[in-house]
């Protein structure tokens, strides 16, 4: 069965970086793009962007250009989201989502930015 398993919660200092992983199984990894979605505490869902898993080409939403970087390691069917120069407002749950007619979601990774 399709699974997207994300890495565990992270607590980081402001200014640090974090890398969240999303390991796919149960389907051909390069057949579907991976979206990233953010949900800050008490807020709604925001589309961060996506990465084409067959080419590695990323697309970022306007609000997430610069400090957010998507990458892949197709040999292990894993997508990554790296956020640099972390700010308190980056504190959120980050979800990876398989892009298909019916999106399939990972369990989410809580990133907490606090000194």
Partner 1 sequence: QSALTQPPSASGSPGQSVTISCTGTSSDVGTYDYVSWYQQHPGKAPKLMIYEVNKRPSGVPDRFSGSKSGNTASLTVSGLQAEDEADYYCTSYAGSSYVFGSGTKVTVL
Residue in 1, 8, 101, 115 binding partner 1, rule: CB under 8 A? 101
Please, which residue, 25 or 59, has the CB nearer to partner 1? 59
Unique residue bearing structure tokens 């990465």 = 51
Unique residue bearing structure tokens 């306007």 = 62
Least spacing, CB of residue 111 vs partner 1, in Å: 15
Q: Name the nearest CA neighbour of 70 among 88, 43, 60.
A: 60
Least spacing, CB of residue 57 vs partner 1, in Å: 11
Do residues 52 and 31 lie in contact, with contact meaning Cβ atoms separated by under 8 Å? Answer: no
Residue in 79, 95, 96, 98 binding partner 1, rule: CB under 8 A? 95
For residue 98, give Cα distances in angstroms to 12, 27, 81: 27, 10, 14
Q: Give the interface with partner 1 as residue ranges (CB under 8 A).
A: 35, 37, 44-47, 49-50, 59, 61-62, 95, 101-103, 105, 107-108
């Amino acid at each position: 069965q399709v699974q997207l398993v994300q890495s565990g919660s992270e607590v980081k200092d402001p200014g640090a970086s974090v890398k969240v992983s999303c390991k796919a199984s149960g389907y051909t990894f390069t057949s579907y793009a991976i979206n990233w979605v953010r949900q800050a505490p008490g807020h709604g869902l925001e589309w961060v962007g996506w990465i084409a898993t067959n080419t590695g080409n990323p697309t970022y939403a306007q609000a997430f250009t610069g400090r957010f970087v998507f990458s892949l390691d197709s040999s292990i069917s894993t997508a990554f989201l790296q956020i640099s120069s972390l700010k308190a407002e980056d504190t959120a749950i980050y979800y990876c989502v398989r892009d298909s007619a019916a999106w399939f979601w990972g369990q989410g990774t809580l990133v907490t930015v606090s000194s």
